[in-house]
Each structure stands twice: as C-alpha cells, then as structure tokens.
Amino acid sequence: MNAATRWGPVATSERIGAMDVLRGFALLGILLMNIEAMVGPLNAAMTGVDPSLRGVDRWVDTAIYVLVQGKFYTLFSLLFGMGFAVMMRRADAAGRPFVKVYLRRTLGLLAIGLVHMLAIWSGDILTVYAVLSLALLWGFRNKATAKLPRWALGMYLIPVVLMLLLGALVSLSQLDPKGATEAAKQQAAQLAETARMINAQRAAYGGGDYLAAVAQRWDDMVSVLTFVVIFGWQVLAMFVLGLWFVRSGAIERPGEFPRLYSRLRFIALPVGLALMLASVALEPTLDGRMDIRVGAAAALAWVASLLMCLGYFAWVMHGLKSPPWASRLAIFAPAGRMALTNYLMQSVIGTLVFYGYGLGWFEQLPRAWQVPFVLVLFGLQVLWSHWWLARFRYGPAEWLWRAFTYGGRPPLRLERAHAP
C-alpha cells in the first residue's frame, strides 16, 4: 500500500528528515528561553534583560535575550505550519477528506495544551497553536502558494506597526501637561499590575502547594490568551510561511533555492542581530512602560526575531548538506520526532525541580547556571529519545495525539526482525 492509498499517521520512511532536526534544534532554544520562566515568575521572564542582575548573570541574561528569546518559538511555529502542509498533502494524495481529521487533530492539541497550561506550566504555547490552527485552515488552505510569503510578512508586521503607533501616541500625549499626567497614571497602573502578577506567581509557585499553583495558572491563562490578540498575528504568520516552505518545495529540495538560503544566512541573520542589538541599546528592559523609545525597541526586537529565526533555519539546512555536519545535526532528529513529548517533559521536570510543591528551588538557580542546567537536561532528553525510538514508533504524547486524531490505536512497538 503506497502513500496514494494510505491515510493515517505518517510512517518513518515518509518523514522529512530536515524537519525533525529543526524541531530538535528548536526544542533546545525553547528550553533555553523557558527556563527563566520556570526558575522564577513567568511574567518577570517576559521583560527583556533583568535590570537587577549583575556580573556574569547579567551577561548571560542579555545573551539569551539577544540570541534566543523570541527566535525559537517563531521557528517552532514555522515548523507547525510545515506539518500542516505535509498533512494536507498526504490527505490529498490519498483522496481522503482532510478537514474532519484536521479538526480532530486540533481538538486533541487543544486538550493537551489546556492540561499542560492548567496542570503543569502556564507558559504553554500549544493552546495558542490549536486556536490559531483554525485560522490557518479556513484562511490559507486554498491560498495561492506564491502569495503566502506576502500574507505572512503582512501579518507579522501588524503588531510591529501597532507598537510603533502606540509608542508614538503616548509620546505625543506627553507633550501636553494634562496628557502627560494621564499617561503617567496609566503607566503607573500598568506597572502596578505587572508587579501584582509577578508577586502572585512568586507566592503561588515559590511557596504555595499544588492547588495554589493551579489557581494561579488559571489567572495566567487568561492573561496569556489576552496577549494572543497581539502576538497571535506573528504565530499565524509563521504558520503561513511554513506552509509556503512545503508547498514551494524549499524544505524538501533546498538545492533548488540557493539564492533564498544564501540571503537568509548572510543577510537576514546579520541584519536581525544588528536590529536586536539596536533594540537592547534603546531599551533593554520592556516592563510595561510605554513611549516611542520603548515602542521602537519592542518593534526592532520583533523584526529581529523573524530575521534571526530564518537565519538559524537556513544555517541548519546548510549544515545538513555537509556530511560531517549532517551527522552531528542528526543527533537532534529523535528529539524532534518526539517534540511534543519532550516539550511537555521539559515543563514537568522544570516545575518539579523549581516549584514549591517539588524540590522548591524557585528563584534559587542563578541565571548563569541555568544554561548548564538546560544543556544537561536536553542532553538527557536526546539520549532518551534515541533509546525510545529504537523500540517504539512514536513518543508517548505523539502516539496519544495520533490515536485521537485518526480514531484508532496506531502500532506503537517496532516490529523486530527475527532470525531465520
């Protein structure tokens, strides 16, 4: 039975190997970004460079902000869009309905995301993916391939333009004494609300029991889903761009797109890094204050994240063309094949180590030591992924998701060849 007649969980032989490597690579970056929000309050990790840090801790915090934060959830979003395109292509090849199965897939992801967000860690991205995947289905399934990059760029820039406009309006209002007084009151209220959320997270996650943490995660969920109105445009934009990479053949046949990948490596990445450094120079800490300076810093950071994400993506693709580098990058592939399981396990381990109902190391691990912690944890995940996939077809969470999506129980254990 070939791909034209089969429609179900993707077989290992049909996988796009580069996507597995990229998912594994993205998982490392996501953990480097998320660890700060597990060690301490979630909202405190979303404000750029922590002004209270000094010495090597501040250098590490700045390096993570410049090189990692915002770059890897965009890469993960890009890969989600690629997965959507691959699933749709396989359904079309098999001549089977796509929408019903995709909606079941989305519902399964939403359920996993809500359990993750409420029961494990409130920094979940899966719930956002599930909600926005509906917009991807209804808005872009039948869009012409050539138009997808323009749609993606336009949507990504919506929050950028809004942030610049908001910063400009606040600065203009401050030119009038009455407006300046009102703006100061609003910003003081915003800073007070940010401080309240951080203190509530500190109390619930650092010193509370499990039920207190669940109650706080509910409040966090409301806040996160409200913020989707802004950054959701960028997530959806990356979905659409990922759709283009599969439809155009750029992910499967990168040799046919040498100019694109060269520009991403040698133009997008350096320009993105320069914009990110400019953002930090303008305003390293984005803590709720707003004026044209802060708005410009945030806008530069968002544009930089897009360019650097695509630059990282292009360099990994370039490395996969070189046998020595391809063999090194291949260690990421099993972790990428189990990306959902590994993502969830990062949250389980992180919260059990740092939260009050676990080992209670909340706000105890210095910023500089968070990087070695991440490298050790991710290294163990890579080893475990290799071990697991030598025996099973899917990761545990992947198997559960597929079983719900396709309405059956796909074989989990690998069939071992028997000696005659």
What pLDDT sits at residue 365?
Answer: 97
How would residue 240 be classed by pLDDT, with cut points 50, 70 and 90? very high
Q: Is the pTM above the cut of 0.75?
A: yes
How would residue 5 be classed by pLDDT, with cut points 50, 70 and 90? very low
C-alpha torsion sign, points 31, 307, 332, 117: positive
Q: What is the residue extent of each domain of the chain?
A: 12-154+203-253+329-406
C-alpha torsion sign, points 329, 268, 70, 112: negative
92 pLDDT higher than 70? yes
For the segment 315-329, what is each residue's pLDDT rounded down to a tens digit? 999 999 999 999 999
> Which pair of tokens denotes residue 203?
């109390």
Three-state secondary-structure class, residue 413? strand
3 pLDDT higher than 80? no
What pLDDT sits at residue 15?
Answer: 61
For the segment 115-161, what is each residue's pLDDT rounded down to a tens digit? 999 999 999 999 999 999 999 999 999 999 999 999 999 999 999 99
Q: 306: Cβ–Cβ under 8 A, 6 or more apart, which residues? A: 74, 156, 234, 272
Q: CA separation (Å) from 357 to 130, 204, 219?
A: 29, 10, 19
The answer to whether the CB of 167 falls within 8 A of the CB of 291 is yes
For the segment 343-364, what is each residue's pLDDT rounded down to a tens digit? 999 999 999 999 999 999 999 9
173 vs 291: CA distance, rounded Å: 10
The average pLDDT across 210-239 equals: 91
How would residue 49 be classed by pLDDT, with cut points 50, 70 and 90? very high
The answer to whether the CB of 57 falls within 8 A of the CB of 368 is yes
Of the ranges 169-183, 291-305, 329-343, 380-394, which one carries the lowest mean pLDDT score? 169-183
Residue 11, classified by CB atoms within 10 Å of its CB into exposed (0-12), middle (13-18) or buried (19+), is: exposed
> Which pair of tokens denotes residue 227?
């913020």
Closest by CA to 24, choosing from 74, 72, 66, is: 72
Strand partners, 392: 413
How would residue 190 be classed by pLDDT, with cut points 50, 70 and 90? confident
What phi and psi values does residue 413 have, to the nearest 5 degrees?
-75, 145
Closest by CA to 301, choosing from 263, 329, 272, is: 272
> Which pair of tokens denotes residue 277?
């450094």
How would residue 417 be classed by pLDDT, with cut points 50, 70 and 90? very low
252 vs 28: CA distance, rounded Å: 23
What pLDDT sits at residue 227?
Answer: 79
Q: 2: Cβ–Cβ under 8 A, 6 or more apart, which residues? A: none
Of the ranges 187-191, 273-277, 313-317, which one carries the lowest mean pLDDT score? 187-191
Which H/E stretch holds residue 47? none
Three-state secondary-structure class, residue 5? coil
